[in-house]
Every structure is written in C-alpha cells, then in structure tokens.
A = this chain, B = another copy of it.
Amino acid sequence: MGLSHPHPDELQMATVLHALSDPQRLRIVRILAGDPAPRRCGSFDLDITKSTLTHHFRILREAGLIDQREEGTARLNSLRRGDLDRRFPGLLDAVLAGAPGPVAASV
C-alpha cells in the first residue's frame, strides 16, 4: 500500500509549522527546495541515525510537506510545493528565505 499522504485540503497550519520547527527537518526541507529532483532518504547529510531519519521523514510526510514515492528499495522524497503554495500562499517561500541561523547567515 502506498504511504498515506494528507489531502491538500486537510493540511493544518499548526501541524505544518510544527513539522518545520525542528532544525533537522528544516534542513531537509531546505535541501529539497534547493533541487527539484526527488531525493533518497539517505542522501541528506544529517548527523543522525537511520531510524531518526525515518522518524523525521514520517513527520514531514504526515504534515503534508513532502511526498514519498516508493521506488524499488528506495524512497524518493520531494517537496509538495504546489499543494503548500495553494493552501498557504507564501509560507514556504518565507520559511525558505529565512536565515538558517542567527543573522550572521550573511557571512
């Protein structure tokens, strides 16, 4: 069975914001936004174990932020940009534009 993804109309602002409020997940979303090509879960360089990765990807998927498609033994992740932009216009852009750290990001 295909992983359950929330319908675009069911996305909750609070849930989306919560999914984005973790630094690791924020990083994942940034990476996905930086390159439109779907990515394998393992292709994100995040100093955490595989099980923790799986956990974060599930949170992102269940919040409606990413789409996970099974492809052989891998799982391809992509941002649900269209759905997000339709439901919460400007939100993703604002989050992605936000400086990753303290204002020193301009270094």
Chain A positions within 8 Å of B, measured between CB atoms, are 9-10, 12-15, 17-18, 20-23, 26, 87-91, 93-95, 97-103
Contact = CB atoms under 8 A, between A and B. Distances in A.
B18 A21 contact: yes
Most chain B CB neighbours (cut-off 10 Å) among A17, A89, A91: A17
A26 B18 CA distance: 12
A95 to B, nearest CB: 7
Contact of A90 (B10, B26, B90): B90
A26 B9 contact: no
Contact of A9 (B13, B97, B102): B102
Contacts of A10: 102-103
A21 B95 CA distance: 14
A75 to B, nearest CB: 25
A10, A14, A15, A91 — most chain B CB neighbours (10 Å) = A14
